[in-house]
Amino acid sequence: MQKYIATVARVLLSQLFLLQVVALIIGFTNNPDGYQQYQAGLGSLGLPGIFAPLIILMNLVGGLALLLGYKTKAFALLMAIYIVVLTLLLKLPVLQYLAIAGGLLLLYVNPNTPCSLDNCKKKA
């Protein structure tokens, strides 16, 4: 039972990124100008609109990689760096996002979790 706690942690961390993508897509489909408003919102925070698709792609790819346990160590470190940089650029609540980065760094240190693609044995 205890060995699956790391898997639960990995899945819970991944849902932060994936739910953000789902919320954005729902917002874009419900509002014809949703994407432009998202870009404008980033612009008001000091980021050019070109960062909008990059942020969405990063959340989607990183979230899926963590959910599936694919290259967990690399993606955990990448997403920890990404969340710290995004927190500083967008002036997000620092303590909350640093806590998320801390969880990702723990996953980086201990990437071997059950039920992950990293641990699938390849049959020759």
Q: pLDDT value at position 121?
A: 63
Q: pLDDT value at position 124?
A: 45
Q: pLDDT value at position 123?
A: 47
Q: pLDDT value at position 122?
A: 53
Task: Report long-range pairs for 70-77 (Cβ below 8 Å, ≥24 apart).
Answer: 70/116, 70/117, 70/118, 71/118, 72/10, 72/107, 72/111, 72/112, 72/113, 72/116, 72/118, 73/108, 73/111, 76/104, 76/105, 76/107, 76/108, 76/111, 77/104, 77/105, 77/108
CB 100 within 8 A of CB 62: no
**Cα separations in angstroms, 46 against 24, 43, 86, 89:** 19, 5, 12, 8
Q: Which residues of the chain have pLDDT under 70?
A: 121-124
